[in-house]
Amino acid sequence: MFDVYVINLDRNNNKWNKLKKTLNKYNIIPTRISAVDGYLLEDNNINNDKTVLFKLFGNSRLEAIYTSHQKTWDIINKKKSKNKYSIILEDDAVPIKNFDKELKKIFKYLPKEWDLILLGCIGCCNENNKCNNILDKFTKLFINNRKYRNKKKIKNKYLYEPLVFSGAHSYLINNNSINKIINTMTKINYHIDISLSNNQYLIKYATKKKLFNQDPTYSSYKNNRLDILNNIIIDKENKASLNWYLNMPLFNIGKIKITLFVLFIINFIILLLIIKKNNYKFIILLILFNFIILLLIISLVWIKV
C-alpha cells in the first residue's frame, strides 16, 4: 500500500541503522535516500533554484535539507511504484508504539482529495485556530497564510486541516500528487516545512495523534557550549530543549549563521548600553534592529522571486 523513504546523511549511518531496525520490527523495509550535505554544497557545485533573498541570506543547511526532500520526490516520481502512497521520513523521526495500527486507521478514513498528510505535526494550530503553546503561536506569526481550502471543514476521526505547521520529519504523500508537489516546490526560499505550509496549491492534513516524534538528541541545531540548556524542555512531546530552539538557523549574513541565540546576545548588548550609557536613543536602535530582523524573516518566508 505504501513505500517508506528515509533521508539520511552518508556520515550519519548510525541514525539510518537505528531507524531501519525500528521500522523492520513492523515488517517495513525502508529505502534510504542519500541526503545532500550542507557542508559539501559548494564542493559539489549544486546549483539550486533559489529566491533572490535566499541567495543573499540563505543557510546552506536549510538548502541541503530542502534539496534532499526534492531529491526524494524525484526518486518517487521516477520509480512509478505500484503502491498508492509514500511515507517520507528524516532520520531523526521516532515512531510511536504501534504506529502501524494507527496508520491503518488513517488509511480507512482518507479524504477524497489530499496531497500530503503530516504524521508528526510540530508547531501546529488546529482547525479551530487554536495553538497548543507559545511556540505554536510564534510559528503562526510567520506562516499563518490562508483560509481553509474547504469552506466546510471535514469531519474526520483521525485527521484535521492545520492552519499552519512546521516539521517535515514525517509525512505521507499521495503518489498521484507527486508532480504537483514537485512543480510547486521548485524554488528554495526558506525551511522546507515552512515552504510546504505556505504552499497554497497543496491539500494538506495532519493526524490528530502524532505517529512520529522528532528526536532532538540527533539534531545539529544544538550548541555544545550550551548543554546546560538541554535540561530546560520547551516542547515536552518532542523533548525539544531550549538549546535546540535557540540554535535553530534563521538566516545567514555572509557566512555567519544567525540563530535565536545570536539575536538574544545582540539584544542583551543593546540593553546593557541603554543601562550603562543612560541614553534612551539606544531604545530606538533596539526597536529598529528587531523590526528589521522580523521583516527579513517574513520576507524570506513570503517572497518567492
Q: What is the mean pLDDT of residues 12-16?
A: 93
Q: Cell for 10?
A: 552518508
pLDDT digits (tens, 9 = 90+) for 52-89: 999 999 888 899 999 999 999 999 999 989 999 999 99
pLDDT band at 142 (very low <50, low <70, confident <90, very high): low
Q: Give the Å distances, CA to CA, from 217 to 58, 110, 135, 214, 244.
A: 25, 33, 19, 9, 9
Query: CB-hemisphere CA count at 13 Å for 163?
Result: 19
pLDDT band at 147 (very low <50, low <70, confident <90, very high): very low
Which domains, ranges and CATH numbers included, belong to the chain? 2-214 (3.90.550), 248-305 (no CATH)
Cβ(16)–Cβ(91) below 8 Å: yes
Cβ(240)–Cβ(246) below 8 Å: no
Please report which helix (H) or strand (E) contains residue 87, including its range.
Answer: strand 85-90
Backbone phi and psi for residue 166, each to the nearest 5 degrees, phi listed first: -140, 170
Please report which helix (H) or strand (E) contains residue 269, including its range.
Answer: helix 260-277
Per the prediction, the chain carries an average pLDDT of 83
Side chain identity at 275, as an amino acid letter? I
Q: Cell for 110?
A: 482518507
pLDDT band at 136 (very low <50, low <70, confident <90, very high): low
pLDDT for residue 217: 64
Q: Per-residue pLDDT for 297 more than 60?
A: yes
Instruction: Express as a percent the part of the chain with pLDDT over 90.
Output: 52
Q: Per-residue pLDDT for 8 more than 80?
A: yes
pLDDT for residue 47: 62
pLDDT band at 148 (very low <50, low <70, confident <90, very high): very low
Side chain identity at 115, as an amino acid letter? D
Distance of CA 142 to the CA centre of its chain: 13
pTM: 0.86
Q: Cell for 299?
A: 520576507
Please count the other Cβ atoms lying within 10 Å of the Cβ belonging to residue 166.
24
233 CB burial (10 A radius; 0-12, 13-18, 19+): middle
Instruction: Express as a percent the part of the chain with pLDDT over 70.
Output: 78
For 259, the 3-state DSSP assignment is strand
pLDDT digits (tens, 9 = 90+) for 19-38: 999 999 999 999 999 999 98
Side chain identity at 248, as an amino acid letter? M
Residue 35 DSSP symbol: P
Q: Per-residue pLDDT for 235 more than 80?
A: no
Q: What is the mean pLDDT of residues 232-258?
A: 74
| CA terminus-to-terminus distance, the chain | 38
Strand 116-118 and strand 204-207: the pairing is parallel
